[in-house]
Structure 1
Amino acid sequence: MELELRHLKTIRAIADAGSLTRAATALGLAQPALSAQLRRIERALGGALFERGRHGVRTTALGELVLERTRIVLPAVSELQREAARFARTRGEEGERLRLGGTHGPLLGALVDRLADAAPGTTVTTCASWSERELAEMLTEGRLDFALAGTCGSTPPPESPHLVWEEIAVDPVFVMLADGHRLARGREIGLAALADEEWACVPGDGCFADCFTAACTRAGFAPRRMYETDTASCVHLVQVGRAVGLCRATFPPTPGLAIRPLAGTPLMWRHLLGWHPAGQRPDTAATVLAQAREAHAGAAARSDSYARWLAQQRPAPEAAPRPAHATAPGTGSISRGQGVG
């Protein structure tokens, strides 16, 4: 096996975490998979890099040598990637191109569609990932120009000290039920009424699963089995009555599904757009952000359940309608360079 940069990143992650368990969590891997990968790396390097103990791992002499090199190699390669991406963009060698990344959800496709009209001479390519951290890393390394990500409630984005994160919108989290479900005809559903259900949602590396469990605990129950899978599989599990799904309020109307708000709005989801300021002109960033907000507004307008929920939030009949991209109290744009997906 030839040593690759990702192997060096794995070694660094294990050393920083101090244990395979914590490193596996940080890397989004199962511990057995990380242990197997470490064994392959150690065979390639000719010896053990870590000593395992009850309280975690400790680097061997060989491990210290390798770690010393990673402290030089990894920053150097990352800076090379960033400089090359900025140079190519400045010189126009790649032509007019936007590389967009995004997590699951309808906004990525809607943004691509709007940019095709707003900038018809620009080639737009996309990259999808369930991991907000991976998208942030790709932005930092210059492999993406912009990324659509999200966080639970007011949770900050993945730590990336050089990135800009701007808020697109804040949505309530709704539930999707099979059309024939006993609660599908209600205008909103109390979380406690779903205590006996199994659940489905798409995966992520933020705190949403913990926040959902905490909301269930406040409602007086512990959630049963959770199926974490892709959007199409979640929809199927709901349509056949296997599970109740968790989704953003902008989830598009789908045959066989009823999308309903949760009473009291126990969970919120914040949509964010991220980019590296050194690699983007301010006018380009402003255009993409504006189009992302319009894409969200369009998705919200197509959802009858979301429109009803928004109408219920009006404090008085004469109040102006709340815009689809209005934010929850206490939220707003995130200042640049704070390292706060």
Structure 2
Amino acid sequence: MELEVRQLRMIRAIGDAGSLTKAAASLGLTQPALTYQLQRVERMLGGSLFFRDKQGARPTALGQLVIDHTRVLLPSLDKLLEEAQLRTADRDSAPRVIRFAGHPTPLAGPVIQRLRELATNSEITMRQQRGGHDAMDLLASGGLELATLLEHPNLPLPRPPDVIVRDVVTEPVFVAMASTNPLSNQDEVCLGDLAGQSWILPADLEIGCGEYLRGLCEQAGFTPHVAYRLSGYNARDVLERGLGMMLVQATTMAAKGIAVLPIKDIKTELRHVLAMHSESPVARYCEQLAGAAATGYWDQARRSPVYVNWLGNTLSK
């Protein structure tokens, strides 16, 4: 995993604010979300970046080293982006179509909105993409300029040489079931307790969902019975009637008749990525779009009480 510009900005913001709470507010994130991202960076760098106590956040020696580098790197990078955009302004003046595809995630809307601000003379079209491998093939061949995609880290999508891929966030996977199911009254559910249930696979997503579900269930000691491949209204209807259950993104909101629960006995992961062709007109906006994607994701995350509670419990351990 490589350190990203947005992560450097996050560390700089914490150092400047002297507090995770203040830094989270300046970045438009919740404190649990910022803490989660900080812990990922600390694991990547191999040590704590801040001493955290009631007085706030003070940089460790490693943290001060990183902050000192950000004071040099970030202004230089911002200047580079500014000058590059000025040099290519004439090329941007001609209208062009930017073809965008995405899996059903919270990232697409914020990315489109930011792209409209950056590429003011371009027309942006989008379609929902089912297959992850197909999307990568289209990006590599020039059939798409941009995509927001999902992948399971143990079943990653291909990385064609001409495609830039930015990891946005890795989240846990939760389970959706009928609120009438006796297990729905728990704060978390053991996957092993769901043996014998019927499962729904998403009809609008093909990233090895069936293989991933089987792998998780085998870890829990059973083979899942996949009875449905549904999405939208039909999936919600089957869930609400208690006819099946399904794995869902952590940002999924509970709804009338449907409960969403974290899984406590098996580790689950789902990664959101931003991908674009290196020669596409949007490649120059890669960092800005990755930032918009991350902000949009955490905006949606804090609307989910189940996810917010999971983040709080996980970070407190």
What TM bracket, shorter-length normalisation?
Answer: 0.5 to 0.7
Tell me by how many angstroms 1:118 deviates.
6.8
The reply on whether 1:153 has 2:153 as its aligned counterpart is yes
1:257 aligns with 2:268: no
Using a 3 Å threshold, how does the CA distance of structure 1 residues 90 and 133 change in structure 2: closer, same or farther?
farther
Check conservation: 2:92, 2:121, Cα contact below 8 A: no
The aligned counterpart of 1:223 is 224
Q: Cα 1:169–1:145, aligned 2, differ >3 Å: closer, same or farther?
A: same
Preserved contact between residue 101 and residue 147 of structure 1 (Cα < 8 Å): yes
Deviation at 1:119, TM superposition (A): 6.4
Q: C-alpha distance in 2, partners of 1:177/1:284?
A: 40
Report the equivalent of 1:141: 141
Q: Note the alpha carbon deviations across 1:245-284, whole angstroms, 9 max, x for none.
A: 2101011343322111011343210111101112245541
After alignment, is 127-136 or 219-228 more displaced? 219-228
Task: Mark the CA change 1:258 to 1:115 in structure 2 (over 3 Å): closer, same or farther.
Answer: farther
Aligned position for 2:302: 301
Distance 1:117 1:256 in 2: 39
Deviation track 1:157-179 (CA, whole Å, cap 9, x = no partner) reads 22422111110100111011112
- Structure 1 residues 199-226: Cα deviation after superposition (integer angstroms, max 9, x where no partner): 1131444333223212212212111134
Counterpart of 2:213? 212
The answer to whether the Cα contact below 8 Å between 1:201 and 1:247 also exists between their aligned partners in 2 is: no
Let me know the Cα RMSD of the aligned residues. 2.6
1:239-254 superposed matches below 5 A: 239-254=240-255
CA distance in 1, matches of 2:164, 2:192: 38
Q: What secondary structure, in the 3-state scheme, does the structure 2 residue paired with 1:206 have?
A: coil
Structure 1 counterpart of 2:271:
270
**Structure 1 gaps, min length 5:** 1-88, 317-341
Offset at 1:131? Answer: 0.2
- For the 8 Å contact 2:277–2:283, the answer to whether it is kept is no
How far apart, in 2, do the equivalents of 1:213 and 1:164 lie? 30
**SS of 1:263's equivalent?**
coil
Q: Does 1:186 align with 2:206?
A: no
CA contact (8 A) 1:197 1:224 kept: yes
Corresponding letter in the other structure for 2:214:
T
> Which position in structure 2 is the counterpart of 1:112?
112
Aligned to 1:156, the other structure's residue is in SS state coil
Scaled by the length of structure 2, what TM-score is found?
Answer: 0.65
- Could you tell me which runs of 5 or more consecutive residues in structure 2 were left unpaired when the two chains were aligned: 1-88
Q: AA paired with 1:176?
A: A
Q: 1:232 to 1:141 in 2, by over 3 A?
A: farther
2:171 corresponds to 1:171? yes
C-alpha spacing 1:120/1:308, structure 2 compared with 1 (3 Å): farther
Task: Find the counterpart in structure 1 of residue 234 from structure 2.
Answer: 233
Q: Does structure 2 retain, via aligned residues, the 8 Å contact 1:211–1:267?
A: no
Alignment partner of 1:136: what SS? helix
Count how many residue pairs are aligned between Structure 1 and Structure 2.
228
- Whether the 8 Å contact between 1:157 and 1:165 is mirrored in structure 2 is no
Kindly provide the amino acid, as one letter, of the partner of residue 295 in structure 1: G
What is the Cα deviation at residue 104 of structure 1?
2.4
CA distance in 2, matches of 1:199, 1:152: 18
TM superposition shift of 1:186:
0.8
- Matched residue type, 2:310: W
TM-score by length of 1: 0.60
1:266-315 CA distances to partner (integer Å, 9 max, x unpaired)? 32101111011122455412221111111111111111111111111114
Deviation at 1:198, TM superposition (A): 0.6
Matching of residues 114-133 of structure 1 within 5 Å:
115=115, 123-133=123-133
Structure 1: distance between partners of 2:90 and 2:233: 40
Q: Secondary structure at the match of 1:183?
A: helix
Report the AA paired with residue 299 of structure 1.
Q
What does residue 291 of structure 1 align with?
A: 292
Residues 104 and 231, structure 1, Cα contact 8 Å, conserved in 2: no
Write the deviation string for residues 305-336 of structure 1: whole angstroms up to 9, x where unpaired.
Answer: 111111111146xxxxxxxxxxxxxxxxxxxx
Aligned to 2:77: none
Contact 2:191 2:266 in 1 (8 A): no
2:169 counterpart letter in structure 1: A
Partner residue in 2 for 1:99: 99
Distance 1:200 1:127 in 2: 23
Identity percentage over the alignment?
23
